[in-house]
Amino acid sequence: MDIKDIISQFRFEGELKSVKEFGSGHINSTYIADFGEKRYVIQKINTSVFKKPDELMTNVFSVTRFLKNLIIENGGEPERETLKFIRTGEGKEYLKTTDGECYRAYIFVDNSICHNSADTPEMFKKSGAAFGRFQSQLGDFPADTLFETIPHFHDTPWRYHNEFEPAVMSDKCGRAKNCKNEIAFVKEREGKLYRITDALDIGDIPLRVTHNDTKLNNILFDENTGESLAVIDLDTVMPGSALYDFGDSIRFGASTAAEDEKDLSKVEINLDYFKAYADGYLSEAGNSLTDKEKELLAYSAWLITLECGMRFLTDYLNGDVYFKTDYPEHNLIRARNQLKLVSDMENKMNEMKKIIKSI
């Protein structure tokens, strides 16, 4: 179905002037529709990744409703500080077309900007504070009302045994020969994947409502003031560990290079950025974290980076069926990049732990 036909089925104000594709996400497809007075974001939900769009949309509507009330209580601006979803003409939370495609829509926050990399440690510190605040804001959210949109999302051991190993074993695209070293690298670290899931299992660390996809580009910043405005991309808000959120932010934002940089000599963990993020995050979420969580912060950055590298490698082996790719080796490049970052974190692990202690 044509995107303009999709747009005509939502309750937007005014007349459509233009629509264009937008953003650099790996899963959904995002469009910006310009209605003159207002702009809207329309997203096609990737239903092979999010298999139950009803549950997904129930989650995002209830999380944004909860945040809206909190923002109003604090005298803020709910339409700028969280997402405001728009219902379809029929009053539904999302649109399902006759051929089964699913679309949802929300208000584009004017004068906002997303960053794929942080220009300064200060900017990255603000993103840490934003994700820390987001987690504290959802501290009283009734976690048992949330659906698990992607089961086992950051269950690294589960991903290792149920996705990575089978992909290596079946090698259905004959690509394993191209990545023997990368496969071996992941396998050598299998024994070290269990610290967070084990701690959750025995109640050593708490299950919290977390974001689970805390890339820097999932925060809107105010273009004029440079302050953080809103945490977006709420599809994976689920019960999880605070460590997943901390780790994923470091993986993406404290690297000296983009996630798909080919020149591995450019890929390192920047400890100034690591410190800046930890400062920001702990200033907002620190009081609620347990000692055990704090002890595992540096490890979580290592684990989530390894997990992400393993996921890219798995997708490469499976023939690029999960993440969007721009060229045939894209997932392999991403995997190598993430594994290089893992190696660098291993070299700097003592310093990373020292930084956390000093805060």
Instruction: Report the interface residues with ligand GN1, using CB under 6 A.
Output: 25-27, 49, 213, 215, 218, 233, 236, 259, 308
Residue with the closest Cβ to Mg ion?
233
Nearer to ligand GN1, 196 or 355 (CB): 196
# chain residues binding Mg ion, by CB under 5 A: 3
233-271 b/e (C-beta count within 10 Å ≥ 16 → b)? bbbbbbbbbbbbbbbbbbbbbbbebebbbeebeebbbbe
- Rule CB under 6 A: choose which of 186, 232, 301, 342 binds ligand ADP: 232
CA–CA separation, 152 vs 130, rounded Å?
Answer: 25
Candidate segments 4-12, 109-117, 204-212, 289-297, binder of ligand ADP by CB under 6 A: 109-117
135, 285 in Cβ contact below 8 A?
yes
The one-character DSSP state at 88 is B
Nearer to ligand ADP, 108 or 246 (CB): 108
Structure tokens at 242: 């605070």
Q: Which residue has the tokens 């890929």?
A: 267
Residue 312 is which amino acid?
F
126, 280 in Cβ contact below 8 A?
yes
Does 9 bind ligand ADP (CB under 6 A)? Our answer is no
# chain residues binding ligand ADP, by CB under 6 A: 18
Least gap, CB of 268 to ligand ADP (angstroms)? 24
CA–CA separation, 222 vs 124, rounded Å?
Answer: 14
- Rule CB under 5 A: choose which of 218, 314, 318, 338 binds Mg ion: 218
Residues 6+ apart with CB under 8 A from 250: 269, 274, 277, 300, 301, 304, 305
Query: Which partner from the list ligand GN1, ligand ADP, Mg ion, none does 236 bind, CB cut-off 5 to 8 Å by kind?
Result: ligand GN1
Q: Taking CB under 6 A as the criterion, which residues in 75-104 touch ligand ADP?
A: 83
The residue ranges that bind Mg ion (CB under 5 A) are 25, 218, 233
The residue ranges that bind ligand ADP (CB under 6 A) are 22-23, 25, 27-28, 30, 41, 83, 106, 108-109, 112, 114, 217-218, 220, 232-233
